Amino acid sequence: MKGWSAVNERADRSCPALLIDNVVKSYGRVRALDGVSFDVRPGEFIALLGPNGAGKSTLFQLLSGLFVPDSGRIEVMSHDMSLDPVPALAQLGIVFQQPTLDLELTVTANLMFHAGLHGLPPATAQKHIDDELARLGLKDRAADKASKLSGGNRRRVELVRALMHEPRVLLMDEPTVGLDPASRGDLLKLLLGMRAQRGIAVLWATHLCDEVPDADRVIVLHRGKVLADTTPAQLIASAGASTIEQAFLAMTGGNHERD
């Protein structure tokens, strides 16, 4: 964590990296988010679990600055997204649900283009690229076109891209869609380790219950409302269930398709 002292690390963890306070967003007569509130602390891995139409996609659109809430407050590292969007967005790294790499460019060219959008000097960008590719086991693929990579490795490149500007909050929007089970497991394990090593806050949106058990907390979102914000074990116990899937289905009426 870049040489932070233990005291500074504890102080940093005492404040939310991401704060969502009573957020409301409507589309016409449909209220996609209805008073959503929760926070994510530095070093926390939060699973945002919700079925089709829960509001996960709407929330991520607000968090990424694509839209603004009708009311409520979103803060990233104490920067209000509505009042001070530039420094707020600068602290975010995002991996979108849909693949966004240019398949005809090399891995390095994809990453250098993104670095330019963040205003990183070429030498700094290249160092970050080299370091992150090495950490994620992709150093020998730097000169390959993205089209030559497997789905799992393309996701890893997108993760490198999200981390290049050293954000404090990482948003993962259904990141395992289209991946085989082994690649899904590898990506999840990678992120769980990363949040511990770097102290980065991770918000992982998913409709898959098997991606939830190792999260620090699970937030169940359904029809725009937060139904639960607790640990995976407490979620199971409070529902009187034996598995997360049983608890989730009981809370949401059995609809667990992707939104």
Are residues 60 and 9 both part of a single domain? yes
Task: Tell whether 259 is covered by a domain.
Answer: yes
Contact 114, 164 (CB under 8 A): yes
Q: Are 175 and 155 in a shared domain? A: no
- How many structural domains is the chain composed of? 2
| Percentage of the chain exceeding pLDDT 90 | 74
Checking if the pLDDT of 52 tops 90, the result is no
Among 147, 166, 185, give the residue marking a domain's end: 166
Task: Using only the alpha carbons of the chain, give its radius of gyration.
Answer: 18
pLDDT category at 195 given cuts 50, 70, 90 is confident
96 domain residue, yes or no: no
Dihedral angle over CA of 205, 235, 191, 124, nearest 10: 60
Q: State both tokens at 211.
A: 């991606």
Whether residue 1 has pLDDT greater than 60: no
User: 159 and 177: one domain?
Assistant: no
Q: Are residues 65 and 175 in the same domain?
A: yes
Going by C-alpha positions, the residue among 98, 96, 118, 116 that lies closest to residue 108 is 116
Give yes or no: residues 82 and 187 share one domain. Answer: yes
For residue 213, being part of any structural domain is answered with yes
- The verdict on residue 205 lying in a domain is yes
132 and 252 within one domain: no
Mark whether 161 and 41 lie in a shared domain.
no
Residue 230 lies in a domain: yes
Q: What is the dihedral of CA 103, 105, 108, 110, to 10 degrees?
A: -70
86 and 172 in a single domain? The answer is yes
Mean pLDDT for the stretch of residues 180-189: 89
Q: Which residues pair with 74 in a beta bridge?
A: 20
Residues 179 and 256 reside in one and the same domain: yes
Q: Each residue of 46-68: b (16+ CB within 10 Å) or e?
A: bbbbbbebbbbbbbbebbebeee
Whole-angstrom Cα distance, residue 55 to residue 223?
Answer: 6
Identify the pLDDT of residue 13.
59
pLDDT band at 15 (very low <50, low <70, confident <90, very high): confident
- Looking at the structure, do residues 124 and 198 belong to the same domain, yes or no? no
pLDDT in tens, 217-254: 999 999 999 999 999 999 999 999 999 999 999 998 87
**179 and 67 within one domain:** yes
Domain boundary pick from 149, 166, 183: 166
Identify whether residues 140 and 188 lie together within a single domain.
Answer: no
Query: Cα separation of 105 and 139, whole Å?
Result: 16
Write down the pLDDT at residue 8.
39
Query: Is 13 in contact with 43 (CB distance < 8 Å)?
Result: yes
Domain boundary among 166, 186, 206: 166
**For 34-49, what is the mean pLDDT?**
97
Domain range for 157 is: 101-166
pLDDT > 70? residue 4? no
What's the burial of 150, exposed, middle or buried (CB within 10 Å: 0-12/13-18/19+)?
exposed
Number of other residues whose CB lies within 10 A of the CB of residue 28: 5
Within a domain: residue 23? Answer: yes
Please indicate, yes or no, if residue 234 is contained in any of the structural domains. yes
> Which CATH number covers residue 15?
3.40.50.300
Averaged pLDDT score across all residues of the chain: 90
pLDDT mean over 8-35: 84
**Structure tokens of 120?**
């990183």
Q: How confident is the model at residue 11 (pLDDT cuts 50, 70, 90)?
A: very low
